[in-house]
Structure 1
Amino acid sequence: MLYGIAAAATALLLSAFFAGVLRTPALRLGLTDRRRRRPLPLSGGTAVALATVLVAAGGDATGLLPLGSGVGRVVTAAGCVALLGLAADLRRLRWWVTPAGTAVAAGFVVPYEETGVAAGAAAVAWIAVVTAAFRGLDHADGLAGTVGAVGAFGVAACATAELMDGLAALLGVLAAALAGFLLHNWFPAQAGLGAAGALFTGFLLAASAVFVRAGQGIGAGASVLYALTAIACADAALVVLGRRLDRRTVTRGRPDHLGHRLRRLGLAPRAVPVLLGAGAAAGVLVAVCVHTGRLSPGAAWWVAAGVAALVLMLVRRPVTTVFRPRQRVASASPQVTAQLRVRSG
């Protein structure tokens, strides 16, 4: 227990340190968020991955925090996915490259001896989809880090119930690393997560959840896995449905994610991650209760109903490319403002 707390504290400090130190190299290398009006260095993803892998590998090598059989393979695969995400941050890759690479990595971590071939193949597809959906959450300051930390605590609780102490410690380290990153990512963000960190976090959460549920009932397992990632699923469903209704290409980026639409409703930037983090916590609570037998698998239908209501409420909200038009007009010169008024009249 004490070693786990020490490992989490170390991961938090390392992540916060790396995220700050790597900001300048990220700017010089052009490792920035292309969707922002100002360059936002994507040092957070490297910081989270480095802190998690270093602490987990160090604890396992010294015997102070042994990961257990198969968990080291999950960490290695997550590190490879992070490198793939780093390549996507540095240069534009075709849309199918990262999902395909994630699926290949997932194929090496699914315990087929416990799941069977058919369920194992479904688990690979689920890990790839959830990882891609989690990448989509990295569209608002503090959102991906908050939802990821909440999800990590949920998977850690499920692992603890199964006496998988090594896996629980790993997820605790991930949650702490994300908390350290949030010190730089809370609005207004000074560092971003990027594809490297989002893919690493999503993959580690999804693969660990599959590892915990392997060999148990398929119906209950699907309920737990869905409830653990309800917010990421809601964001992905909203994006896909909204773009299809607008007859737009699904793979082409737009400001039409959960955070974007909630901002259009008038929510403050800091309120978005708090609200969605609370929603993620509700889903995680249901997942843990189902996993431990305190609730029936049917409880996940309540989570699904909440997600469906949220998606249907927001899917027809108007989407624009600008969130602060008043600030733009106010910052313009009097001559430009007068011209805009004349044109609008």
Structure 2
Amino acid sequence: MRVYVFLAAIAGAVTWMTTPLIRHLAIRLGAVGEVRARDVHTVPTPRMGGLGMLLGFVAAVLVAQGIPFTRGLVSEGRQAWVVAVGGVMICLLGIADDLWDLDWMLKLAGQLLISVYVSWGGLQIISLPLGSLVTASPSVSMAITAFLLVASINAVNFVDGLDGLAAGIVAIGGIAFGAYSYILSRSSPSYASLATLIDVAMVGVCVGFLLHNWHPAKLFMGDSGSMLLGYLITCASIVLTGHIDPASVHSSIYLPVFMPILLPILVLFLPVLDMCLAIVRRVSKGQSPMHPDRMHLHHRMLRIGHSVQGAVLILWGWAALIAFGSITILVVPAMYVLVGMFVAAAVLTVATMLPYLRHRVPEIRAENAAMHANGQHISGHRHAEGTPAGHHDAGDDASGSAGSGRR
């Protein structure tokens, strides 16, 4: 555990120290995000922060090569270097987009090519739990792996809309999944350690970048950062889910681990949900799936009255609930986990809706008071109209001649 903490600290420190330099470089190169109608920030802000993240991750991998406990993971196998090379390529694609705003089809094609290269290099989902363990053909493995990588890359890219949001959500998912892979590594280290190494390095770069990216952000991660984070967290999942020998672990553990589609979705539930909602929303309007709008989850949070920091913290809470809940339920009795998740969900629901309720309840009270006052006014008006008749009846009782005279 101490080795992993040390590697996370290395990744975080390198990211934190190089990010100010990356910021100046982004300004020099013109990688500055102009304020658009859908943006939350109000001043042009440099992007391309993913380059600092990449430097932190590569530094952690190089240091891991010099540590006896993790040396074999880097030097003896090719997967670590395939992940690193793929990370460099996906980050360079993101830098190009940060500089020149690439067409979405060109960017998607680049993501797909890089994902196929990584899969061809040996990072594949080899087996699937379809009733029983099924070994997928090489072509099927490459297709599933490439699909997962592209989907996760774009999911994190979609949710990157508030300062610190994407980095925090990925860090939370990385901590949850890294903890689970570490538990498995204690009984079968040759299978899970590389996944844990990728996770802890990724968490380190997220924390290091967050120190510069908390609102108001000095630098955006840009596509170079969001695509890199989506790529890394999925690589860790594929390393774990694709190389577990079911005969070496208990059936109650290996079956959930073999959920190669479920695990990335659960760990990145909020980004995946936001991406799916955006695609359905845009396609239903006849727009491109990549057409920008202000209907993302974080935009809705701001619309109901949350501050940027408040919206980010609450979305972090939802991400933690889903990520840790989905992992914990694999090792803790389901009843305890579900009760805890229900309580946490209730608290988060109240926190999510609190600004809306604060604004809406006074409005409802004002509306009710206005309706009540209007009702009293109408009732009083009717009473005023009925008074002469009542007075006339009383006059008839008191003096028939007077009443006859009025007639």
Calculate the aligned-residue CA RMSD, in Å.
2.9
Q: Which has the higher contact order (CA 8 A, sep 6+)?
A: 1
Q: Is 2:147 the counterpart of 1:133? A: no
- For 1:60-79, what per-residue CA distance to the aligned partner results, in whole angstroms no more than 9, with x for missing partners? 25546333532331222122
Moved more, 216-225 or 116-125: 216-225
Task: Indicate conservation of the 8 Å contact 2:48/2:223, yes or no.
Answer: no
Within a 5 Å distance, the mapping from 1:101-116 to structure 2 comes to 101-107=110-116, 108-109=118-119, 110-111=123-124, 113-114=126-127, 116=136
Within a 5 Å distance, the mapping from 1:7-86 to structure 2 comes to 7-34=7-34, 35=36, 36-61=41-66, 63=68, 65-66=70-71, 67-68=73-74, 69=77, 70-86=79-95
Q: Is 2:169 the counterpart of 1:147? A: yes
Q: Is 2:145 the counterpart of 1:123? A: yes
- For 1:115-134, what per-residue CA distance to the aligned partner results, in whole angstroms no more than 9, with x for missing partners? 52335422321221111111
- For 1:76-95, what per-residue CA distance to the aligned partner results, in whole angstroms no more than 9, with x for missing partners? 21221111111111112121
Question: Against the structure 1 CA distance between its residues 222 and 167, is the aligned structure 2 distance closer, same or farther, given a 3 Å change threshold?
Answer: closer
Within a 5 Å distance, the mapping from 1:194-233 to structure 2 comes to 194-214=222-242, 217=255, 220-233=259-272
Q: Is 2:248 the counterpart of 1:243? A: no
2:107 corresponding residue in structure 1: 98
Task: Indicate conservation of the 8 Å contact 2:125/2:260, yes or no.
Answer: no
Question: Against the structure 1 CA distance between its residues 78 and 5, is the aligned structure 2 distance closer, same or farther, given a 3 Å change threshold?
Answer: same
Within a 5 Å distance, the mapping from 1:140-289 to structure 2 comes to 140-163=162-185, 164-214=192-242, 217=255, 220-289=259-328
Answer with 1 or 2: which has the greater Rg. Answer: 2
Task: Indicate conservation of the 8 Å contact 1:89/1:194, yes or no.
Answer: yes
Measure how far apart 1:46 and its partner are.
Answer: 1.1
CA distance in 2, matches of 1:4, 1:220: 25
Normalising by the residue count of structure 2, what TM-score does the alignment of the two structures yield? 0.68
CA distance in 2, matches of 1:27, 1:51: 21
Amino acid at match of 2:174: A
Moved more, 268-277 or 162-171: 162-171
Amino acid at match of 1:189: A
Measure how far apart 1:186 and its partner are.
Answer: 0.8
CA distance in 1, matches of 2:266, 2:126: 25
Amino acid at match of 2:86: A
- For 1:274-323, what per-residue CA distance to the aligned partner results, in whole angstroms no more than 9, with x for missing partners? 11111111121133135547559xx8xx99xx9xxx9xx99xxxxxxxxx
Task: Indicate conservation of the 8 Å contact 1:11/1:51, yes or no.
Answer: yes
CA distance in 2, matches of 1:85, 1:39: 19
Question: SS of the counterpart of 2:200?
Answer: helix
Task: Indicate conservation of the 8 Å contact 1:41/1:190, yes or no.
Answer: yes
CA distance in 1, matches of 2:29, 2:299: 28
Gaps of 5+ in 1: 315-345
Question: SS of the counterpart of 1:162?
Answer: helix
CA distance in 1, matches of 2:110, 2:331: 33
Identity among equivalent pairs (%): 21
Question: SS of the counterpart of 1:65?
Answer: helix
Task: Indicate conservation of the 8 Å contact 1:71/1:167, yes or no.
Answer: no
2:360 corresponding residue in structure 1: none
CA distance in 2, matches of 1:98, 1:188: 28
Measure how far apart 1:225 and its partner are.
Answer: 2.6
Task: Indicate conservation of the 8 Å contact 1:99/1:129, yes or no.
Answer: no
Question: Against the structure 1 CA distance between its residues 237 and 40, is the aligned structure 2 distance closer, same or farther, given a 3 Å change threshold?
Answer: same
